[in-house]
Chain A
Amino acid sequence: MKINHYLIGFAVSSLFRRGTKSLFVLFIFTALIFLLSSILFISNSIKEELNLTLDSLPQIIVQKLQAGRQTNIELKRVNKLLEFQGVQSAVPRIWGYYYFEKAGVNFSLVGIDAYDKQYKNSFANIVKNVNFDALEKTSSMVVGQGVKKALSENYYKNYFNFIKPDGDFIKVPIASTFSSKTSLESNDIILMPRSLVLEIFGMDKTKATDIVLSVANPEEIPTIAKKIKNLYPDTRVITKSDLKVSYQNIFDYKSGMFLALFVISAFTFFMIIYDKASGLSSEEKKEIGILKALGWKIDDILQEKFYEAFIISFVAFISAIILSLFFVYTLEAPILKEIFIGYSRLKPSFDLPFILDVQTIFLLFFLTIPLYLAAIIIPSWRVASMDADEVMR
């Protein structure tokens, strides 16, 4: 079929003739899709960022529960765990929250030590100017960019005085910072020798926060996890696949923030649709009557209306998608990112990995454009099938 340029031209000129109305629809449509797609892009990128490092996570983490609460686990158990068939290594870890009152922020303190040979290489890759042993020798720490900023805003440029549970201070120099490339992972992290963390937390030397296991054959992970659970009913065993599941369900779509946003957007969208569907203006009706009287078939009229609606909704859709890609990945989503960052005072740079999320784009496309088309075409069809004489007067 040959494309009728006159009909498309007429549709375009009709949109321009009803300039304010078209602009209004264009604006609302663009704004809604922009909002929805931005949120979906951000949440997808966060998931992508999480999955990027999934493989580097521990295979099994063993925590101890006391009355349902997580508590420190005895070091004795390390050797017991090593005896399990298939367990390659068992490393006790010390980590936890440290609340910095002056800035009102939470840091995550992580202890490492020279015995954990397998970390040496990766440590050398992320911290260039200090080596693993030097950190231990000088009792200093490596901090994330956010920590560095929070500290220097509160006088501590080169060191920080941690307060121990007994009330004493312990002064720890800052040896280095993590690359800002890892900001999303490292922003609030403080890495220091294990002995220091023990001291700051006032922890018993015979205990650890949790124990990390590595297993020779990944297939055996579930069996080993089950065995550990059977031997120590007071533990919680978190496997890598548990972490994966947790990553997949990171966002709370079913309630809270997202639901509110989706409901508002959907509501606005249906309001427009309802407004459209509940009737054409008298001029628009008259125009349909005139066209029919001049020999336009109902199909011709509907085709023209289809072009009109499709052009405006498609332009709105495309510009919304382009705008939100720019907004999220170039501008790093100002304002909107607050939803994801919350009241954290340690703002990480919101440098998300770019993924063109075709699935989301299609979903939005098929949720909005056909509805809008229907909202335009159904009332037009109703008018177009009346007597021309009736509609024109």
Chain B
Amino acid sequence: MYSSSNLHEQTKNDFVKTVGLPDLAISNGANFIRHRSLSDTFSLFSNGPELLEYFPSTFTYNYSQNYKNIPSRIELE
């Protein structure tokens, strides 16, 4: 027997298992925010160099630490 909140938890986990993508669908204005854990440095520039920021999303959410996984000399801070 699941309690109702456990049931939701189960549904959510099943969903994530199926789709396999991290992060929430809360803010999807920019792909480097929507799938921030999987995005790379250059997805910041993919819409053109002037489109770095999506206010307020990019002011609220941090860039993913996983950016650091890639060999890039671009300083992000």
Residues of A within 8 A of B (CB): 46, 49-50, 52-53, 55-58, 61, 63, 65, 68-70, 93, 95, 97, 105-106, 108, 110, 112, 119, 121-123, 125-126, 144, 146, 178-179, 181-189, 191, 210, 212, 236-238, 242-243, 245-247, 249-253, 255-258, 260, 338-344, 346, 348, 350, 353
Q: A343 touches which one: B15, B29, B64 (CB < 8 A)?
A: B29
Question: Is A342 in contact with B65, judged by CB distance below 8 angstroms?
Answer: no
Residues in B neighbouring A121, C-beta threshold 8 A:
14
Is the CB–CB distance between B38 and A68 below 8 Å? no
Name which residue of chain A comes closest to B45, CB basis.
Answer: A69
Interface flag for B3 (CB, 8 Å): no
CB neighbors of A among B7-27 (8 A):
8-27
Chosen A-B contacts, 27 in total, with CB atoms closer than 8 Å, are A46-B24, A52-B12, A56-B13, A56-B14, A58-B20, A97-B31, A110-B21, A121-B14, A122-B17, A144-B25, A181-B12, A182-B11, A184-B25, A185-B12, A189-B19, A189-B21, A191-B18, A210-B38, A242-B69, A249-B62, A250-B36, A252-B59, A252-B62, A256-B60, A257-B56, A342-B54, A353-B5
Q: How far is the CA of A185 from the CA of B24 in the complex (A)?
A: 5
The main secondary structure of chain B at its interface with chain A is: helix
B22 CB, min distance to chain A CBs, angstroms: 5
Q: Across the interface, do A341 and B27 meet the contact criterion of CB distance under 8 Å?
A: yes
Chain A residues contacting B59 (CB-CB under 8 Å) are 252, 255-257, 260
Secondary structure at chain A's binding surface: helix, strand, loop or mixed?
mixed
Q: How far is the CA of A63 from the CA of B37 in the complex (A)?
A: 12
Q: A50-B24, A341-B27 are in contact. Are A70 and B37 (CB under 8 A)?
A: no
Query: What would 15 more interface pairs be, CB under 8 Å, given A55-B13, A95-B21, A250-B36?
Result: A46-B24, A58-B20, A69-B40, A122-B13, A126-B14, A181-B11, A188-B25, A243-B37, A247-B37, A252-B63, A340-B60, A343-B55, A344-B28, A346-B25, A350-B26
A93's nearest neighbour on chain B, judged by CB, is: B20
- In the bound assembly, the distance between CA atoms of A49 and B12 in angstroms comes to 9
- In the complex, what residues of B have CB within 8 A of residue A119's CB? 17-18
B interface residues, Cβ below 8 angstroms from A: 5, 8-29, 31, 33-43, 54-66, 69-72
Q: B66: which of A58, A122, A238 is its contact (CB, 8 Å)?
A: A238
Q: Cβ of A237: which chain B residues have Cβ within 8 Å of it?
A: 69
When distances are taken between beta carbons in the complex, the residues of chain A under 8 Å from B11 are 125-126, 179, 181-182
Question: Do A108 and B21 touch across chains, with their CB atoms under 8 A apart?
Answer: yes
Q: Is the CB of B18 within 8 A of A348?
A: no
B34 contact from A63, A106, A257, A260, Cβ within 8 A: A106
B8 to chain A, nearest CB (A): 5
Residues of B within 8 A of A242 (CB): 37, 65-66, 69
| 6 residue pairs, one from A and one from B, having the closest CB atoms | A256-B59, A342-B57, A187-B25, A122-B14, A246-B37, A257-B59
B21 to chain A: which residues have CB within 8 Å? Answer: 95, 108, 110, 189
- How far is A126 from B68 in the complex, measured between Cα atoms in Å? 34
B45–chain A nearest beta-carbon distance, Å: 9
Question: How many whole Å from B18's CB to the nearest CB in chain A?
Answer: 5
Q: Which residues of chain A are near B72, meaning CB under 8 Å?
A: 68
Given that A55-B13, A97-B31 are known contacts, is A340 also in contact with B40, CB under 8 Å in the complex? no
Residue of B nearest to A179 (CB): B11
B14 nearest CB across to chain A (Å): 4
Q: Is the CB of A188 within 8 A of B28?
A: yes
Q: Are A245 and B65 in contact (CB-based, < 8 A)? A: yes
Q: In the assembled complex, how far is the CB of residue B11 from the closest CB belonging to chain A, in whole angstroms?
A: 5
Contacts of B56 in A (CB 8 A): 256-257, 338-339, 342-343
Within 8 Å by CB of A246, from B9, B13, B22, lies B22
Q: Please tell me if the beta carbons of A57 and B70 are within 8 angstroms of each other in the complex.
A: no
Q: Give the docked Cα–Cα distance between A183 and B58 (Å).
A: 21
Nearest-Cβ distance from residue B77 to partner chain A, whole angstroms: 9
- How many whole Å from A137's CB to the nearest CB in chain B? 18
